[in-house]
Amino acid sequence: MAVCIAVIAKENYPLYIRSTPTENELKFHYMVHTSLDVVDEKISAMGKALVDQRELYLGLLYPTEDYKLCRYGYVTNSKVKFVMVVDSSNTALRDNEIRSMFRKLHNSYTDVMCNPFYNPGDRIQSRAFDNMVTSMMIQVC
């Protein structure tokens, strides 16, 4: 379903980034990193317009032509960003499904944060989170 899932801290460094092992990891890092531009743009635009709406889903950030990938963004209230790169050839994936995936991701991230041994700002090494991400990536692949 997803080929790359990244959690990015408020300060824009990656808390977690995981991509399909078959593909070049570096490429995804660059891709997610550049998409932060769009995330930033959307957040700043949202800051003015959608303060009350509590809409965390940013929608499609940036389709990439050459890899048939689309990036979707999601930003939590604490400005932690989730970026998901999905294979756009998979048109069965609708907006709602992406939303639900993000919600799942968010819930799992919240669980990680609830762990008293987790230091906020550290890289996420939770196995449960990892498994959840794996499940989200495996579904189609």
Residues that bind other proteins (CB under 8 A): 9, 11-14, 25-26, 29-30, 33-34, 36-38, 40-41, 60, 62-63, 65-66, 89, 91, 121
Q: How far is CA 72 from CA 24, 76, 98, 117, in A?
A: 19, 14, 8, 30
Closer residue to other proteins (CB): 26 or 51: 26
The nearer residue to other proteins, 29 or 104, going by C-beta atoms, is 29
Residue 95: count of CB within 10 angstroms of its CB: 11
Q: How far is the CB of 33 from other proteins (least distance, A)?
A: 5
Other beta carbons less than 10 A from residue 28's beta carbon: 23
Smallest gap from residue 114 Cβ to other proteins (A): 20
Least distance CB 43 / other proteins (angstroms) = 12
In the complex with other proteins, the residue whose CB is nearer, 89 or 100, is 89
- Tell me how far apart the alpha carbons of residues 86 and 65 are, in angstroms, rounded to a whole number: 12
Pairwise CA distance, residues 126 & 116, whole Å: 12
Least distance in Å: CB of 10 to other proteins? 9
Residue 94's CB: how many other CB atoms inside 10 A?
A: 9
Instruction: Considering the complex, state which of residue 56 and residue 60 has its C-beta at the smaller distance from other proteins.
Output: 60
